[in-house]
Chains A and B, each alone.
Chain A
């Protein structure tokens, strides 16, 4: 057996007497990619933070390269050859990319310039070293984090959902890089919610549930059904699409030749009770289109009709009043009031309708209705929303949108960072909504999800509408549209 590069021995962690991890054993060997899977709130992130010295365990041992991690600080863990690439990239917005990568290294950043440049070209990405980091897209920020790990010559690299913001092409180059690292004797931990991604690169899989290890096998010896069953008993696969759904011909929203920041000449119709999947690669202009519709960005040209009447929103509240509700892709920044109680969040789209003197009991009752219908797991309506897991936060956001009683609901990446169980719930909620006559636009980069949900699929590429596909189109067909039209626009 090869030596363990990093090891956790019966590690446990309590937060205010609530156990999050209960005696977990975990190890990474040289030359393997170890997949770590688990539902939201299963303790994956906490476990990895303990390994990286960011969180002190309540009990158990952390060993890196055969030696105990002491003192348990991130700098010590890094010095011992372990680097954690976090889910949300930690960026210094006012520093250059080069400084961002090299902060904390023993020499000044300029000494590493050529090495960083080399790593960037080996990763197969384009990234200006002197660009101010504030201007980077989410995907490039992730690249900066990965570069940080590589430049530190970490023997153990933990990648916490590195693919959630990357395009399929970038995911493939990342995988190539991960395989190369494995060959050179590094140990990697790979966290993702997407089983097919885990399967593509991993050698071994560990599944966490409620703070326990419930599955630890070679990747090849584990079937999808086994893994899903271990993760959330009762769910063996993502539920399938209900066949034979008939949609109304009545147009709720129709765009004609709409142009704005990052997109041009978009003509689209959305019918009543329809789920329209709007997809494409990152940067195709989908989010910009949605934000322009609800008045967050200026409109450059074109017309929008809502139920046969001209529609224009100067600010998001105009859109909400007319029944068009939008949910941003960045739920932490633009969606939730993280420190506020759950029921405040549920009421947050309809504050203008609340009485002068608030009636908390009534608001809590409204939250209670949604808690039941959406299946939000929480201890009390007074709990701050930041204490919930990602999937439950997303459900709270949905409850806030539903409280506004939308005619048209625009959901931008509604399942980013959400586990399989909660994802099923969200799909069901979207379907129920459509069945009651609400039209839904789902913006997603996950082609499988788009196919699963949509009654019709619109694909954007490079700011143009690349084409429309009927329900049940193959992901290959979507991929072709999403990438090909870029080539034609280039030619």
Chain B
């Protein structure tokens, strides 16, 4: 049991999340209810989509910190086009197009022009936010149509349309990573030179990862606008860093090549449930960042310690076995 927990970051985090939820349930009766679960899910949707977008980028050993700005840019694309009277399906298509285009800009900078991903996306983080502000003239976009708000409203047994979409995206990413091409994304981050040597289209994989990130940020923008019904100037600011923190918490290595969809989901849910729990415990919202940060460090430290202890044990076991190399000497005897 202990072994299993130590080997799997996702399992550790799952147990911690359950423990935190139970503890809050004891302190604030009424917390442990299906409605809370539905609330945590819908509160975490935007973060979840951004995290799912950055996930493949990090798997290829790159990083994308422009997610928040792409979210804002797509949200105003949606708001402006809807308020201009464009039909909903076309407006949504345009929004997704804006996100994909923004992702493609990141992808060209990194994969084609060879700009380090942190530099490139820090640049576009400012750039896209600037485009957004110029397009709106610094105004907020309000009075979005009810048809849009309906996408974010809970309808089917506590789930919204966007909530269901996000669920489908999670399943799609899970299935993709189990496919042959999904494996390509992981191996590019694991050893880029080796992937190139084996003839994988490394640059195309990196480019597509960024495009995917842009598309997901656009989906997050739609969710954001549908949930709150207006688009403020600072929509999505700072969410990219929260998404990256959630990924790290879920065991996705910033060095690339390691991570699972389960890790992404549980990492995001952990963050969101802490925020939600604080509301139930009537702790002022400005404590959220401090408590979230402290929880992140605690889990990472404990997990890191466990891992070091385990590695030391594996190493000791390996050298212990080294004393009696029965199978190997057998082979030598046969050869002699």
Q: Which residues of A contact B (CB under 8 A)?
A: 54, 73-79, 84, 86, 90-95, 99, 103-104, 107-109, 126, 148, 169, 261-262, 264, 283, 285, 288, 462-463, 483, 486-487, 489-490
Contact = CB atoms under 8 A, between A and B. Distances in A.
30 contacts: A54-B196, A74-B196, A75-B201, A79-B199, A86-B197, A90-B194, A90-B197, A92-B257, A93-B190, A94-B186, A94-B190, A94-B257, A95-B190, A103-B183, A103-B195, A103-B200, A104-B184, A104-B195, A108-B180, A108-B183, A262-B319, A285-B322, A462-B322, A462-B323, A462-B329, A463-B322, A486-B328, A489-B325, A489-B329, A490-B330
A92 B191 contact: yes
Contacts of B184: 103-104
A310 to B, nearest CB: 24
Given A108-B179, A126-B327, A486-B329, A262 B198 contact: no
B190 to A, nearest CB: 4
Nearest to B315: A261
B134 interface: no
B330 to A, nearest CB: 7
Contact of B199 (A74, A86, A93, A490): A74
B105 to A, nearest CB: 26
Contacts, number: 100
Contacts of A91: 191, 194
B179 A463 contact: no
A60 B315 CA distance: 51
* B interface residue count range (under 10 / 10 to 19 / 20 to 34 / 35 or more): 35 or more
B73 interface: no
B323 to A, nearest CB: 6
Interface string B74-94: 000000000000000000000
A94 B188 CA distance: 11
Contact of B183 (A76, A109, A126): A109
Interface string B299-330: 00000000000000001000100111111111
Contacts of B290: none
**9 shortest A-B CB distances, which residue pairs?**
A75-B199, A90-B194, A490-B329, A104-B198, A92-B190, A261-B319, A486-B329, A74-B199, A108-B180
A73 B193 CA distance: 13
Contact of B200 (A104, A283, A483): A104
B121 to A, nearest CB: 24
Nearest to A167: B332
Contacts of A285: 322
A241 B324 CA distance: 37
B33 interface: no
A487 B329 contact: yes
Given A95-B186, A104-B198, A486 B191 contact: no
Interface string B177-213: 0011001101100110111111111000000000000
